[in-house]
Amino acid sequence: MKAVFIIENVRKSIGGVQMKYDFLERLGIKKVNSGACFGEWIEKPEGNILQSINPATEEVIAEVRMAGSQDYEQVIEAAERAAVILRRMPAPKRGDIVRDLCNEFRRHKDDLGRLITMEVGKIYEEGKGEVQEIIDFSDVAIGHARMMGGRVTPSERPGHFTFESYDPLGLAEEITAFNFPQAVWGWNTLNATVCGDPVIWKPSLQAPLSAIAVQHICNRVMKKYSIEGVFNLLIGEDMIIGDRLVKDSRIPLVSFTGSTAVGLRVGSLVTARGGECILELGGNNALIILADANIDLAIKGLAFGFTGTAKQRCTSTSRAYPEEDIAGIVTDRVVDWCKSLTIGDPLHPQTQMGPLISEKARANVLRSVQKAKEQGGEVVYEGKPLDRKGFFLEPTVIYTKKHLSIMEKETFGPILYIQPIHDLEEGIALNNKVDQGLSSSLFTNNLLSAFHFLSAEGSDCGIRNVNCGTSGAEIGGAFGGNKHTGWGREAGGDAWKKYCRHSQCTINWSGELPLSQGIDFFKNKK
């Protein structure tokens, strides 16, 4: 196993403390930062101090003073005032806001990507790629701003005109996870903005600085428009800020990204008050490889799928199902990949896998490996923690000829289970066996197999791929899963409609009052 580590010699004094990298200053990061903003920062929020830890070094990057109850009310009230302004603003003008945001993200792409890498541990290429997702999606959102009209439907009544109308819904709440600390905000926020909804953002407590940097960009852009409360930030503890946001009837829409257990609770609380949800929850994704597949291509899909982002993506590959004739080849190739993988400082250009987000996350992976052993799995490559600072862990590959119950659980870390299958039907059955239903892949050169996998009798996942891996999704399509993965969609497609109030509208110019379905209510009164 190779491990790359470098020491960054450049240090910059910010706020009286030695902090690495001068780019933090360019992004507005200080020694101690406010965690509450409605366009203007609340100078001294009433919450506790939160430390942002670099998972590659275990060092404190900076601190954040979290929001409290009074800060919460101040932010919500500002968002409500902004909702009135946005509602009156034509959608194409709201698209101009998105365009201006996009230009700022382009300007700061490298710095924002570096901050993501430093704060959550994904390699620099992926950090920059995450910012690029926001930039790319801005094109989609700006297009929506010009094309959000509803359908015109033929009326069955003479002299009537019927059409659909999509109007601003109101406030939108976003609760995001650590693994994509900026991109998921971008998907949701840009849709919300063009639809006319101010956003209240509660980011992961493991990635507060990424949120603060984004909020600084939003503040600068909105100075041009002289509007406060369109983009809002509340960094706070779950029981103080999170629960209150979820239960607040002033917020009609909640978008939550996180674990299934927490997401189902969020969903029940929001729907109980008549609100709406977008839930993007757990993934436990499978990749099927048929004997006729391009093996080189399939191995690349597996390699990124279970080691990219240290397998801390909801779309990461957890389970591989090769046909029996090629199972040995696939397993050997995967082990070879693990042996050649470059693990280390995620800012180093040669690094392919950085650390996990925390020691707790690393311990959870090691517990899953132990459970797999106890259930009869054969560890063909066992990952060990690296003997140095940082939450680094080599990947683990487990081979089994039978289904293990641990394979039904999502483990957010680099474990891959390999189970040989007899044919595609068995692979589809195993793919669908788990409660989660986010992403799935089939590698084959057989057209009939590909269409069967993509059919209603194939994979039951929200994302179905042929000859590409499970990990990652293009922003043009609507992103989301089925079953315990949640409901609702984000990013492209028709996902924007979730941020709107939908109305069916009718105009009668006939001078009469005919009723639908041929009902003649007034026949005895003529």
**CATH code of the domain covering residue 338:** 3.40.309.10
Q: Assess contact for 472 and 140: CB atoms under 8 A.
A: no
> Is residue 20 a part of any domain in this protein?
no
DSSP state of 35: S
My answer on whether 399 and 299 are in the same domain is: yes
Q: What gap in Å lies between CA 147 and CA 91, rounded to an integer?
A: 9
- Domain assignment of residue 257, yes or no: no
| Claim to verify: residue 395 and residue 450 sit in the same structural domain | yes
What pLDDT score does 4 carry? 44
Q: Is residue 263 part of a domain?
A: no
pTM, two decimal places? 0.94
Calpha distance 325→347 (Å, rounded):
40
Write out 414-446 in H/E/C secondary structure: CEEEECCECCHHHHHHHHHHCCEECEEEEECCC
Question: How many residues make up the chain in this entry?
Answer: 526
Sort 473 into a burial class: Cβ within 10 Å, 0-12 / 13-18 / 19+.
Answer: buried
Q: Is residue 136 part of a domain?
A: yes
| 242 and 383 in a common domain | no
Decide: helix, strand or coil at residue 353: strand
CA atoms within 13 A on the CB side of 111: 19
According to the model, what pLDDT value does residue 321 have?
A: 98
Same-domain pairing of 123 and 196: yes
pLDDT at 8: 38
Catalytic residue (choose from 63, 280, 410, 490): 280
Phi, psi of 513 (to 5 degrees): -130, 65
Beta strands at 60-65 and 49-53: parallel, antiparallel or unpaired: antiparallel
Compute, in degrees rounded to 10, the torsion defined by CA atoms 123, 211, 438, 56.
30
Domain of residue 323: give its range. 285-480
Separation of alpha carbons 35 and 46, rounded Å: 10
Distance CA 485, CA 481 (A): 5
Between the two ends of the chain, the Cα-to-Cα distance in Å is 91
> What's the pLDDT score for residue 26?
94
Counting beta carbons within 10 angstroms of the beta carbon of residue 237, is it exposed (0 to 12), middle (13 to 18) or buried (19 or more)? middle
Tell me which of 251, 277, 301 is where a domain ends. 251
Give the C-alpha distances (Å, rounded to integers) separating 91 from 135, 218, 314, 412, 489: 19, 18, 32, 39, 21
3-state secondary structure at position 82: helix
Q: Quick one: pLDDT at residue 523? A: 80
Distance in angstroms (rounded) separating the CA atoms of residues 153 and 142: 26
Burial class (CB within 10 angstroms; exposed 0-12, middle 13-18, buried 19+) of 457:
exposed
231 and 375 in a single domain? The answer is no
- Residue 280 annotated among the catalytic residues of the structure: yes
Name the CA radius of gyration of the chain, rounded: 25
**Hey, which bits of 205-364 come out as E strands?**
231-234, 253-257, 276-280, 285-289, 317-322, 342-344
| Cβ(459)–Cβ(424) below 8 Å | no
Give 236: exposed, middle or buried? Use CB within 10 Å, 0-12, 13-18, 19+. buried
Give the other-Cβ count within 10 Å of 71's Cβ.
Answer: 26
Same-domain pairing of 182 and 230: yes
Instruction: Specify the number of domains making up the chain.
Output: 2
Residue in the block written with tokens 């998972």 = 55
Q: What SS3 class is residue 241?
A: helix
Neighbours of 124 (CB within 10 A): 20
Structural domain includes residue 336: yes
Q: Is residue 487 part of a domain?
A: no
The token pair at 526 is 């003529």
Q: Which CATH number characterizes residue 196's domain?
A: 3.40.605.10
Same domain (yes/no): 213, 339: no
Q: Which of 218, 314, 461, 500 is catalytic?
A: 314
The answer to whether residue 408 is catalytic is no
The pair of structure tokens assigned to 348 is 């180093």
Q: Residue 20's pLDDT is what?
A: 57
Q: Would you give the DSSP letter of residue 376?
A: T
140 and 39 both lie in a single domain = yes
Torsion of CA 66, 312, 186, 110, to 10 degrees: 90
DSSP H or E segment with residue 216: helix 208-225
Whole-number Å distance between alpha carbons of 415 and 383: 9
**524 CB neighbour count, 10 Å cutoff:** 6
Residues 246, 353, single domain; the answer is: no
Q: Are residues 109 and 186 in the same domain?
A: yes
Evaluate whether residue 22 is within a structural domain: no
In a domain, 503, yes or no: no
One digit per residue, the tens of pLDDT, for the chain of length 526 reads 444 443 333 333 333 334 456 899 999 999 999 999 999 999 999 999 999 999 999 999 999 999 999 999 999 999 999 999 999 999 999 999 999 999 999 999 999 999 999 999 999 999 999 999 999 999 999 999 999 989 999 999 999 999 999 999 999 999 999 999 999 999 999 999 999 999 999 999 999 999 999 999 999 999 999 999 999 999 999 999 999 999 999 999 999 999 999 999 999 999 999 999 999 999 999 999 999 999 999 999 999 999 999 999 999 999 999 999 999 999 999 999 999 999 999 999 999 999 999 999 999 999 999 999 999 999 999 999 999 999 999 999 999 999 999 999 999 999 999 999 999 999 999 999 999 999 999 999 999 999 999 999 999 999 999 999 999 888 899 999 999 999 899 999 999 999 999 999 999 999 999 998 888 888 877 5
- Please give the helix or strand (H or E) that residue 23 lies within, else none: helix 23-26
**What does the block give as tokens for 39?**
């366009």
Q: Are residues 432 and 341 in the same domain?
A: yes
Do 38 and 74 form a contact (C-beta atoms < 8 A)? yes
Pair (309, 232) in one structural domain: no
* Nearest C-alpha neighbor of 204 from the set 19, 332, 53: 53
